[in-house]
Structure 1
């Protein structure tokens, strides 16, 4: 009988602690509040993806660096 009482009180304490933690934590952010990912572009020369704001554009193609912009699209890609 003593073991049953001990287990009962342990279960009550664990449940109370779980409820207390659940209601005192800040709410998780919902899907609506997440920032949308930055649009990505693929370098026409090497194929690496990078954010559009960091990419360089020329004649509808995107490049990751000034050197690849000068070299143009990789041969055989078009």
Structure 2
């Protein structure tokens, strides 16, 4: 008799544990569904620095914009260095007699025949 009670109580405990796990899984799944619906309704993105902040949902990772591109909201005129041919923004270039240069060294070297 004692063995029957132990076996019935131990099998009942396993069933109870299984039911508890299933209930916990259901609560977790419901929580995820509610969170997903909330995100869809509010349109909020994941916070910056979180695990999924750069994921676009298309299988591609979205790179965060650089600080320089955020500052430059308008287009800039580009000029070509008369010495090396490098293109750079006009505001960063040095000019001499109508020619543009990328550095002081190239300005001193002058126009290079190309």
TM-score range for the pair, normalised by the shorter chain length: 0.5 to 0.7
Matches within 5 A, 1:1-78: 16-22=34-40, 23-25=42-44, 35-75=73-113, 77=114
Number of residue pairs matched? 69
Instruction: Calculate the aligned-residue CA RMSD, in Å.
Output: 3.3
Q: Which runs of 5+ in 2 are unaligned?
A: 1-28, 46-71
The offset of 1:38, in angstroms, is 3.0
The Cα offsets for residues 35-56 of structure 1, whole Å up to 9 and x where unpaired, read as: 1243322111011222211100
Partner-residue secondary structure (3-state), 2:92: coil
Partner-residue secondary structure (3-state), 2:91: coil
Q: TM-score when scaled to structure 2?
A: 0.41
Larger RCO (CA within 8 A; separation ≥ 6): 1
Query: In the alignment, what sits opposite 1:7?
Result: none
The structure with the larger Rg is 2
Greater percentage in strand: 1
Query: In the alignment, what sits opposite 2:16?
Result: none
